């Protein structure tokens, strides 16, 4: 391996390919800072002066702070509650797979992965308004419930690889199943919790379809939904629109820049399982 030299032509080729990714992002940033006049002169050039008015105007128009707060609340509660509840269900299933009922539950949850949301969308919307769940609470609730299908699949696989001897020692000491789960097992789940947490976070933050059909109240809208709702007002002023898009994209980009390695490995583990 060490005898091999760095493959420079390939490096340069890949850098060129990465421009395909970076270019639209560059354009988003420069457009967000320009005035319409400036944009009509050149789409590509850097802005002469940074027009912060685009941002203040977008914040005012879309009620940005409200929607980022909503997105934040939905994502944090969804991730936290998903980790706590889904791992517990998976633990009970993983340790009782020899029993018929638990085996059935495993396949029941996992087979739901084959039912994409658009298929149950119409009845679910009726149901959520019937139960008074057509709001942020309902949204969080549905993310936790629908996450079960995939999360049970990866949690059970992981828990079954943890030797039972640790738990047995705790049981001999008279610990209850609850105690064993929270004190012994849950701390051991950190690597897989990271995977589930990251995937759930990306899903809840970026999802558009569920908020679109569930949320009716303007004050409870999440970031992607707000971009959609204001689309018709944006078509007249692209600079304003891009300032808004940039603000909606940047929290996740910021998280990614900080925790990039962690996120990539988390997503990989989730997919390879």
Partner 1 sequence: MAKQSKVYYWMVLPAFLIFFIFHTVPVFQGMIYSFTNYKGYGDFNFVGFKNYVNLFKDQRILASYGFTFKFAIVSTILVNIISLAIALGLNAKIKFQHTLRAVFFVPNILSVLIVGFIFNYLFAFFIPQIAEQLNITSLTQNILGNPDLAWIGIVIVAVWQAVAFNTILYLAGLQTIPTELYEAASLDGAGKWKSFLHITFPLIASFFTINMVLAMKNFLMVFDHIIAMTNGGPGQSTEAISVLIYKGGFSGGEFAYQSANSVIYFILIVVISVLQIKFLQKREVDM
49 to 108, contacts with partner 1 by CB under 8 A? 85-86, 88-89, 91-93, 95-96, 102, 105, 108
Token digits of residue 160 = 């079954």
Q: Could you give the angle at the alpha carbon of 82 between the alpha carbons of 67 and 126, nearest 5°?
A: 65
Q: How far apart are CA 87 and CA 188, in angstroms?
A: 11
Sign of CA dihedral 174, 179, 185, 188: negative
Closer to partner 1 by CB, 105 or 215: give it.
Answer: 105
The SS3 of residue 214 is helix
Alpha helices in the chain (DSSP H): 8-32, 36-41, 53-62, 64-94, 100-111, 117-130, 136-159, 165-172, 177-179, 186-188, 190-206, 209-214, 223-229, 231-234, 238-272
Q: Closest approach of Cβ 24 to partner 1, in Å?
A: 6
Judged by CB under 8 A, which stretch of 10-18, 53-61, 75-83, 154-162 contacts partner 1?
10-18
Binding mask 25-54 for partner 1 (x = CB under 8 A): x-xx--x-----------x-----------
Site for partner 1 in 113-132 (CB under 8 A): 114-127
Q: Closest approach of Cβ 95 to partner 1, in Å?
A: 7
Token digits of residue 157 = 């696989």
CA distances from 233 to 26, 56, 244 (A): 23, 16, 12
Q: Closest approach of Cβ 249 to partner 1, in Å?
A: 6
Closer to partner 1 by CB, 57 or 230: give it.
Answer: 230
Number of Cα atoms under 13 Å in the Cβ half of residue 262 = 13
Site for partner 1 in 131-190 (CB under 8 A): 142, 145-146, 148-149, 171, 176-178, 181
Closer to partner 1 by CB, 39 or 73: give it.
Answer: 39
Judged by CB under 8 A, which stretch of 48-56, 61-69, 184-192, 239-247 contacts partner 1?
239-247
Site for partner 1 in 253-272 (CB under 8 A): 253, 255-256, 260-261, 263-264, 267-268, 271-272
Residue 5 touches partner 1, criterion: CB under 8 A: yes
Sign of CA dihedral 100, 105, 111, 115: positive
Q: Closest approach of Cβ 6 to partner 1, in Å?
A: 5
Q: Closest approach of Cβ 232 to partner 1, in Å?
A: 11
Applying CB under 8 A, what is the total number of residues that bind partner 1?
90
């Amino acid at each position: 391996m060490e005898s091999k030299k760095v493959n420079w032509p390939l490096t340069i080729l890949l850098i060129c390919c990465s421009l395909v990714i970076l270019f639209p992002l560059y354009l988003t940033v420069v457009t967000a800072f320009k005035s319409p006049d400036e944009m009509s002169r050149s789409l590509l050039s850097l802005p002469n002066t940074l027009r912060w008015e685009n941002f203040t105007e977008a914040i005012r128009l879309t009620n940005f702070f409200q929607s980022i707060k909503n997105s934040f609340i939905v994502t944090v509660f969804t991730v936290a509650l998903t980790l706590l509840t889904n791992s517990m269900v998976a633990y009970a299933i993983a340790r009782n797979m020899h029993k018929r009922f638990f085996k059935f539950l495993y396949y029941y949850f996992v087979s739901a992965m084959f039912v994409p949301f658009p298929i149950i969308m119409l009845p679910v919307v009726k149901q959520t308004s019937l139960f008074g769940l057509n709001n942020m609470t309902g949204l969080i609730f549905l993310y936790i419930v629908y996450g079960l299908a995939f999360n049970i699949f990866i949690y059970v696989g992981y828990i079954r690889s943890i030797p039972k001897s640790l738990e047995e020692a705790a049981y001999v000491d008279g610990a209850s199943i609850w105690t064993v789960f929270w004190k012994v097992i849950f701390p051991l789940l950190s690597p897989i919790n990271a995977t589930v947490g990251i995937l759930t976070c990306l899903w809840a933050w970026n999802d558009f379809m569920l908020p679109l059909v569930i949320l009716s109240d303007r004050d409870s809208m999440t970031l992607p939904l707000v971009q959609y709702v204001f689309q018709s007002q944006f078509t007249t002023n692209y600079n304003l629109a891009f300032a808004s898009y940039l603000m909606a994209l940047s929290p996740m980009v910021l998280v990614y820049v900080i925790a990039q390695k962690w996120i990539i490995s988390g997503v990989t583990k989730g997919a390879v399982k």
